[in-house]
Amino acid sequence: MKKKETEVLREKFWEKYTLDQLNSSEWEALCDGCGKCCLVKLEDEDKIFLTNIACTQIDLRNCKCQNYDKRTKLVKNCMSLTKKNLKINLKWLPYTCSYKLVSDKKSLPPWHHLITKDRDTVHQLGFSIKNNCIHETKVEEKNMRSYIIAEIGT
Ligand code: SF4
Ligand code: SF4
């Protein structure tokens, strides 16, 4: 069956086009699968803190969302990045996030699957949350502050 135009990944699209110019397949493919945007954030007055607690919906064996299509319904604060909301969400994203890098006209890192052709490289080289976080189901809400790893968004 002939592929639709929007399903084609153009060669080196992340270098040649702006985020606004990406088709839907390219937009999805840009994600490195690190899972860092799925870590729980805590707000305290005007400050926002990042924890190493991973969202209830994530599968920590592969850092993938288990309910991707329903994610925004299931998790109130799920970012669900789109071309429209990217700008307001940039401050929540890690500096390694591919959307942030391309938005800043920077290169993708050498471990990105679009470079290595292997979606496991991000995990193998330790750039994902795999083996670096705890699942939200294992943490009591009153203890979440003790999992803070950084202050962000201020
Ligand atoms: S931080 Fe960025 S690159 Fe990593 S999983 Fe989230 S959206 Fe994808
Ligand atoms: S619901 Fe959102 S934050 Fe939670 S794992 Fe899925 S994509 Fe990540």
Convert the pLDDT of each residue in 19-55 to its tens digit. 999 999 999 999 999 999 999 999 888 888 999 999 9
Query: Does residue 4 form part of some domain?
Result: no
* Buried-exposed string 6-33: b where 16+ CB fall within 10 A, e elsewhere: eeeeeeebbeeeebeebbebbbebbbbb
The yes-or-no verdict on residue 130 having pLDDT over 90 is yes
Q: Of 21-25, 40-44, 103-107, 146-150, where does mean pLDDT reach its minimum?
A: 40-44
Q: Is residue 128 part of a domain?
A: yes
For ligand 2, atom 6: residue with the closest CA:
65
**CA-nearest residue, atom 8 of ligand 1:** 31
Question: Among 5, 35, 29, which Cα is nearest to 114's?
Answer: 29
The mean pLDDT of 55-60, rounded to a whole number, is: 96
For ligand 2, the distance from its centroid to the CA atom of residue 93, given in whole angstroms, is 13
Q: What is the pLDDT of residue 69?
A: 93
The mean per-residue pLDDT over the stretch 147-153 comes to 85
- The closest ligand to the CA of 76 turns out to be 2
As for how many domains the chain has, the answer is 1
- Residue 33 resides in a domain: yes
pTM: 0.90
Contacts of 72 (CB under 8 A, 6+ apart): 78, 80
Average pLDDT over residues 115-121: 97
Residue 97 included in any domain: yes
Under 8 Å between Cβ of 122 and 34? yes
Residue 90 included in any domain: yes
Tokens 């979440």 locate to 144
Q: Is residue 101 part of a domain?
A: yes
Range of the domain at 39: 13-152
Tell me what the mean pLDDT of segment 74-90 comes to: 91
Q: Is residue 37 part of a domain?
A: yes
Please provide the distance, in angstroms rounded to a whole number, between the alpha carbons at the two ends of the chain.
Answer: 49
Residue 77's pLDDT is what?
Answer: 86
Strands 148-152 and 134-135: unpaired
